[in-house]
Amino acid sequence: MFARGGDGSFALSGLAYSNDSKGGAFVAWISPDRQQQRVFRTAPYATRKIAVASDGTIWTIGRELTDGEELNPGHDVVRRFDAEGNLLGSYLPKPSLMRDGSRQHPALLAWLVSARGRVGLHSPLSREYIEFSLDPVVVSRFPGLPLEPGGRLSGLALCDDGGVYASIDRRDKSGVKRWEVASLDRSARAWKPVEIRSGSSALPWMALAGCEGDTPMALTPQFHIGSLVRAR
C-alpha cells in the first residue's frame, strides 16, 4: 500500500521477510525531494491502508497479528505516526467496529483517505464512515454507505471543502454491471446520489480516485493507465 501527501511526500507499507521466513510489518516514508527515506517497524500491527494527512502525519488502518494469531482482540485499528516513526496516537478499538457478530476484521475492505485538515475512513464491514479532524484529533462518526447485495465500494474521495464521495459497483436485475456515485449529507447524516457529468454514466466502469481540491476525480478505462474525469 502507498499514499502521496499534499507536499509530495510518500508513505508506504508492507511486509519484509527474514532468512528464516519470518515476516515483519513496516511503514516507510520518503521526503518530497526523495533525498530522505525512513523505514520503521510496526509489528505486530500490520497496515491494510495508509494515508498522509495535510499536517504530514501518517495514518494507517490495520490489525495486530502475532505468528498469524490475533493475541490482542481489543487492539486499536487506526494509528497515527510522524515521519520519524513515532506513534502519535491510536484510535478505534476493534470491538467498537464489530457488527452483528461478524468475525471479519473491520480493516478488511476499508478505505482511508485524507484532505485538508481531516482524514476519513469508511469500513463497509462496520457500516460506518468515520472522520478525524486534526490538531486536536476529534473523531466524528456517520452511518456508512448502504450497499445492496452484490454491491461493492470501489472508491472513496474526501475533498478539501469537506465533501465525501463514494463510488459503488453493482449489477442490475438483468446482470449488467452498473456504477454509481453518492455523497455524504452531513446534516442529514445520510448518503445521497450524485449526478454524474453527461456521457460518463455510459462508461463500463468508473471508480473515484480522490479529489483535486474541492472536486472529486474518477478513474475510467478510456486509456490503459486510466483517465480522470470530473463528477458534477
- pLDDT tens, residue by residue, 201-219: 556 677 888 888 888 888 8
- Note whether residue 184 is domain-resident: no
For residue 197, the model assigns a pLDDT of 64
| Residue 229 confidence (pLDDT) above 60 | no
For residue 223, the model assigns a pLDDT of 40
Mean pLDDT, to the nearest integer, of 139-167?
92
- Note whether residue 162 is domain-resident: no
- Note whether residue 163 is domain-resident: no
For residue 103, the model assigns a pLDDT of 82
**CA separation (Å) from 66 to 25, 86, 230?**
11, 21, 43
| Residue 81 confidence (pLDDT) above 90 | yes
- Note whether residue 73 is domain-resident: yes
For residue 27, the model assigns a pLDDT of 97
Q: Is the bond leading into 136 cis (omega within 30 degrees of zero)?
A: yes
Average pLDDT for the chain: 87
For residue 215, the model assigns a pLDDT of 87
Residues spanned by the domain of 76: 1-103
Range with lowest mean pLDDT among 10-24, 47-61, 152-166: 10-24
- Note whether residue 25 is domain-resident: yes
- Provide the strand spans (E) within the chain: 2-4, 10-17, 23-30, 37-41, 45-52, 58-64, 76-81, 87-93, 111-115, 118-123, 128-133, 138-143, 152-158, 164-171, 177-185, 190-193, 207-212, 215-220, 227-230
- Note whether residue 193 is domain-resident: no
| Residue 230 confidence (pLDDT) above 60 | no
CA distance 46 to 40: 12
For residue 163, the model assigns a pLDDT of 95
- Note whether residue 41 is domain-resident: yes
**pLDDT bracket for residue 199 (50, 70, 90):** low
Rg (CA), the chain: 18
Amino acid identity for residue 179 in this structure: W
Helix (H, G, I), strand (E, B) or coil at 209: strand
| Residue 127 confidence (pLDDT) above 70 | yes
How many structural domains are present in the chain? 1
| Residue 34 confidence (pLDDT) above 70 | yes
- Note whether residue 174 is domain-resident: no
Strand partners, 14: 26
**pLDDT bracket for residue 3 (50, 70, 90):** very high
For residue 195, the model assigns a pLDDT of 79
Give the percent of the chain with pLDDT over 90.
61
